[in-house]
Structure 1
Amino acid sequence: MHMVSNKTQVECYDFDGNGSHDLIGSFETNLIQLQQASWASPSEFDCLNDKKKEKKKNYTNSGVVSFKLCQVVKEYSFLDYVMGGCQINFTLGVDFTGSNGDPRCPESLHYISPDGFNEYLAAMWSVGTVIQDYDSDKMFPAFGFGAQIPPTWEVSHEFPLNFNPSYPFCAGIEGVLEAYRMCLPVVQLCGPTNFSPIINHVARFGVQAAQQEMASQYFVLLIITDGVITDLDETRSAIVNASRLPMSIIIVGVGGADFSGMEFLDGDDGPLQAPTGEMASRDIVQFVPFRDFLGVPMESLAQCVLAEVPVQVVSYFHMLGLSPPNDPTPALSIDLPLVPNDEQHTL
C-alpha cells in the first residue's frame, strides 16, 4: 500500500512461498473510504491489472476487494514516547566484589589514579552524561553489590552508595561519581557476584509502572561489573521476569575477565531462557566490554551501550499497545495482507 497525498494506491499480489509473488491488480482509494467500511456495508473496489486488460477484450477486473473493517494504528517512535511524557528512569549498580582487587593498590579496578579516574568512573561518566539527557529530574538511584558494609559488616547486594536507604538518589552524574568516591574507602570488598538482587530491586518499580494504562514510566538498569556472575540461574530468572516489564538492563564489563556469561545473558543469539524453561518475552539485556573502547572517544561507548534502549522501549509499549501520556502527532500505518488469488477477496 502506497500513500500519496490523500490517495492510497493498493496493490494485490498472489502469494507464493518462494517469494515470487504475482501482481493480481491494483486500485486507488483513500483513508476516508476505508474507514467507512463495515461488516454491514463493506467498501468494494475492482482490482485492475493493466496487462490483463490489454490481453482480454471483455476484461472487467481481476477480482473485487471488499473491505469490511479498517483499523488505523498509531505507531510511536522512541522520541514520541520521550517527548510525550514517558519518564525514563536510570538506576546504577556497581560491583564491589573482591575480584576487583584492593582499591588501595594500583592494580585494582577500583584504584583511583592520580588523575582522579579508573575504569568504573570512566564508564559511569561516559554513559551517564548521555543517560541524564533522557531523565527529566536527573536524580539517579545508585547501588553497590558484593561488599561488606557498616555497621554490621554483612555482605549486601543492593546497598545505596550514599548509605541512605530511604533516599538512594544522586543529583546528576556528578552526584553519582561523588557518592562512589565517598563509598569506596568505607566498604570492604567481598563477594559473591550476585546480579539478581539489584535486578529484582528495579523490577519492583517496573511492576508498579506496568499497572498504568499508558506509557508513563520505563526503567533502565546500568550494571558495571568486573567478572563472572555467581547467581547465574537466579539472574536468568530475574531477567526473564523483567522482560515482561517496562525495563532494560545494560551491563558494562570492566577489566580483562572472561565475560562469556555476560554475553550469554545478552539475547542477540536468541531469547534468554530461565532454568524453568520459561522464555524471555523480548531481549532486554545489552552487554558491552569496556576495554573494547579504550583509546577511542568515550562517546563511542555511550552510543554502543545505549544503542538498543530505544528499540526496547518501543517494543515494550507496542507489545501492550500503550500510547504516551501526552499523545504527539503520530504516523499512521495500515497493514493489509496479501490477497491469495484472482477472485473476490474480503479484507
Structure 2
Amino acid sequence: MAYPQGQQFQAGSSAVPSSQVEISVSCRSLRDCDMLSKSDPMVVVFCKDSKSDQYYEFGRSEVIQDNLNPDFVKKFVMNYFFEESQKLKFEVYDVDAKTARLDAHDFIGRIEVSLGEIVGSPNGVMKRPLKGPVAKNGDIIIRAEEMSNCKEIITLQFKANKLDKKDFFGKSDPYLEFQRSNEDGSFTVVHRTEVIKNSLNPTWQPFTVPVKTLCNGDHARVIKVVCNDWNSDGSVDLIGEFTTTISEISRGPGSSNQYGLINPKKKEKKKKYVDSGQVYLMSNKIEYQHTFLDYIQTGTQMNFTVAIDFTASNGNPSNPSSLHYLNPYGSPNQYSAAIMAVGEIIQDYDSDKLFPALGFGARMSDNNVYHDFALNFNPNDPQCQGIKGVLDAYYHSLKNVQLYGPTNFSPVINRVAGFAAQQQDGSNYHVLLIITDGVITDMEQTKNAIVQASRLPMSIIIVGVGDADFEAMNILDGDDVRVSSNGQYADRDIVQFVPFRDFIRNGTSMLTSQAALAKEVLAEIPDQFLQYMKKKGVKPRTRTTAPPM
C-alpha cells in the first residue's frame, strides 16, 4: 500500500494503512452558459464528513477558458480506505468573475458518488451525466489511479558466524536492524529481526518487507544493517554494522553478500582489528506486490451475502424492546443499521448489485425450523436487488416467520462457501455478513466450516447486536490464535467479530455509529483478500484498454 506524504516509518508512533489515489477529471459536451463564447469550466471536489454528514470543499481545478470538453490538469490526491464509505461530490461551474465565491459563477451540474464506486469501475474510470438546472448538462469523466512508485516486496534471510561475545555470563543475544538512508545522510530504522538468545552463530527467520520500506524504491540507495546485542534492561550493545543495496542483495547468496561486521570504536582502538563477525545472505526473493485495487480495477467482483438471526432471544418483533422491532418513526434497528453500514460500501464493488440474503433460526408455517432459508422465500434464487432489496426482504420475512432457534452458523457459512467454491480463479471474492444477538449453539461445526472456508475466496463478518455476552465469539476471530477443528488449522484468518454496542454512544447519531461499525469490520478485508490471492498464486487480470473519452 502507498502511504501519504509525511507518513514514513516513525518508531513509537502509529499510522493508518491506506492507498493513495490520484483523481483526474474531464468533462464532455458541457452546457454552454456564455452568450458570446463558450463556458469557462472549473471543477470543485467536496468530501463528506461522516461525523457531521456535511460536505466540505477538498479542492478546485484550474479554470479552462472557452472549452466545453475540458481535461483538467489539476489532480486530486486522497487517501483511499476500503473500510470507509468515502462520499464525494463533483460540481462544475462556468467561471464568470475573479472571485472564490461559488455563488458568483454559473452552476453547470454535479454528481455525488463514493470513492469506492470510482476505483471499482473498470480500469478505475467512471463516466456519468451531470445533474443540473436542465436535462442535458454534459458528462463528467473521473479516473482514479493508485499512486505507488514501487510495488515490489523482498523476502530475505540472514545468518551470522563468530559474533563478538557481549554478555558477561553468556554469549550474545543478537538481532539485525535495517536502516534506510535519508537525503541528509542520516538513517531511519525500518525493520528489526527477532532476537536470537545466547548465540554467536545465529540464523534469523526469513522476513518480507516492501522494497520501498528499505530504499524507497531506489535499488542503489544505501541500506545500513546493524547487528546489536539485546539486553533485558532495554539497552543494546553494538556488535557491528555494514552497508549494502538492493542491487547488491539481488545478486543472491555468495561472496558478494558476505559482510564483515565493523564496530567503529573497536576498529579505532585495535590496529589488528578485522571484524566482529560475519553476516551471510542465505536467500533473497523479489516479487511484485499486487494491491487490492490491482484486482478490483481489473475485474474482480466483491460478492456480498447477508445472514440474519431469527431466533426467539431477539424478542417479539411487535414489541418495541425487540431487536427486530421496526420503528416507523425512529432510527433503524441494529439489524437494519448493520446491513446498511456494511452493504452500502460492499455494493460499490459488485457490478450486478444482486445480494443473497439468508436467515437462520426461524420456524415456518410447516412447523419446521430452518437454519438457511432465503429471505425472499425463493430457495433457488435468494438474491435481492440492491441493499434496499435486502432490507425489504428482511422486513417482509419478519411478518412471515416465527422467531425460534437454536443459533446455528455453520449452515449459512457452508452455503456461502458453496458459492465461493464455484469460482476460485480470482474473478470473485465473497463477504458473508452474519448478524446475531447471541452465542452460537453449533460452535464445533462452525469452527470446522470456518477452517474449510479459509481455503476459499471468502471472508466472514460477524456483528453482535444487543447486550448478550459475546465472549465466546472471540474464539472465531483468529487475530491471536488461528481457528482450528479436528487438528486442522485455518489457512488464514477470515473472521472479524465486533459487537455493535461498542459503536453506539449516548448522543451519537445512528449514521455515525454505522460509519464507525463499517470502518471496523471492513478494515481487514483487503488483507484477507490479498492473502488468498497470494496463497493461490492468483494474479490480477491484464488491464483492458480504456474506451475513448
TM-score of the pair, normalised by structure 2: 0.52
- Inter-partner Cα distance in structure 1 for 2:517 and 2:289: 29
Q: Which amino acid aligns with 1:293?
A: F
The structural deviation recorded for 1:16 is: 4.5
Q: Give the alignment of 1:281-292 within 5 angstroms.
A: 281-292=491-502
1:275-332 CA deviation, whole Å, 9 max, x = no partner? Answer: x23322332221111222224312111111212222222233333443222479xxxx
Which residue of structure 1 lines up, in the alignment, with residue 46 of structure 2? none
Which residue of structure 1 lines up, in the alignment, with residue 384 of structure 2? 170
Q: Pick from 201, 221, 230 the counterpart of residue 8 of structure 1.
A: 221
Q: Pick from 491, 516, 528 the counterpart of residue 300 of structure 1.
A: 516
Which residue of structure 2 lines up, in the alignment, with residue 272 of structure 1? 483
DSSP-derived class of the 1:71 partner? strand
In structure 1, stretches of 5+ residues that fail to align are 329-347
Q: 1:46 to 1:186 in 2, by over 3 A?
A: closer
Q: Which amino acid aligns with 1:285?
A: V
Q: Which amino acid aligns with 2:538?
A: L
Q: Which amino acid aligns with 1:7?
A: A
Q: Which amino acid aligns with 1:312?
A: Q
Which residue of structure 2 lines up, in the alignment, with residue 140 of structure 1? 355
My pick for the range that moved more, 132-141 or 12-21, is 12-21
2:228 and 2:240 in contact (8 A); partners too:
no
- Inter-partner Cα distance in structure 1 for 2:437 and 2:493: 22
- Higher relative contact order, structure no. (Cα contacts within 8 Å, ≥ 6 residues apart): 1
1:9 and 1:26 in contact (8 A); partners too:
no
In structure 2, stretches of 5+ residues that fail to align are 1-177, 181-214, 545-549
Q: 1:30 to 1:225 in 2, by over 3 A?
A: closer
The structural deviation recorded for 1:268 is: 3.5
DSSP-derived class of the 1:258 partner? coil
- Inter-partner Cα distance in structure 2 for 1:264 and 1:291: 19
Q: Does 1:240 align with 2:439?
A: no
Q: Which amino acid aligns with 1:306?
A: L
Q: Pick from 313, 318, 331 the counterpart of residue 534 of structure 2.
A: 318
Q: 1:69 to 1:280 in 2, by over 3 A?
A: closer
The structural deviation recorded for 1:250 is: 0.8
DSSP-derived class of the 2:221 partner? strand
TM-score of the pair, normalised by structure 1: 0.78
Which residue of structure 2 lines up, in the alignment, with residue 86 of structure 1? 300
- Inter-partner Cα distance in structure 1 for 2:284 and 2:437: 53
- Inter-partner Cα distance in structure 1 for 2:237 and 2:302: 43
Q: Does 1:99 align with 2:309?
A: no
- Inter-partner Cα distance in structure 2 for 1:254 and 1:67: 52
1:43 and 1:68 in contact (8 A); partners too:
no
RMSD value, Cα:
3.2
DSSP-derived class of the 2:303 partner? strand
Q: 1:24 to 1:216 in 2, by over 3 A?
A: farther
Q: Give the alignment of 1:11-90 within 5 angstroms.
A: 11-14=224-227, 16=229, 20=236, 22=238, 24-29=240-245, 31=247, 35=250, 37=251, 49=262, 51=264, 70-90=284-304
Q: Which amino acid aligns with 1:99?
A: S
- Inter-partner Cα distance in structure 2 for 1:127 and 1:57: 68
1:44 and 1:64 in contact (8 A); partners too:
no
Larger radius of gyration: 2
1:46 and 1:61 in contact (8 A); partners too:
no
Give the number of the structure whose residues are more often helix, by fraction: 1
- Inter-partner Cα distance in structure 1 for 2:344 and 2:401: 26
My pick for the range that moved more, 4-13 or 304-313, is 4-13
2:302 and 2:346 in contact (8 A); partners too:
no
1:202-260 CA deviation, whole Å, 9 max, x = no partner? Answer: 112333333x3xx3322111001111211111111111222222221111111222222
What is the identity percentage for the equivalent residue pairs of Structure 1 and Structure 2? 50
The structural deviation recorded for 1:62 is: 8.2
DSSP-derived class of the 2:405 partner? coil
- Inter-partner Cα distance in structure 1 for 2:284 and 2:431: 36
Q: Give the alignment of 1:323-342 within 5 angstroms.
A: 323-326=539-542
DSSP-derived class of the 2:321 partner? coil
Q: Which amino acid aligns with 2:483?
A: L
Q: 1:108 to 1:323 in 2, by over 3 A?
A: same
The structural deviation recorded for 1:68 is: 9.0
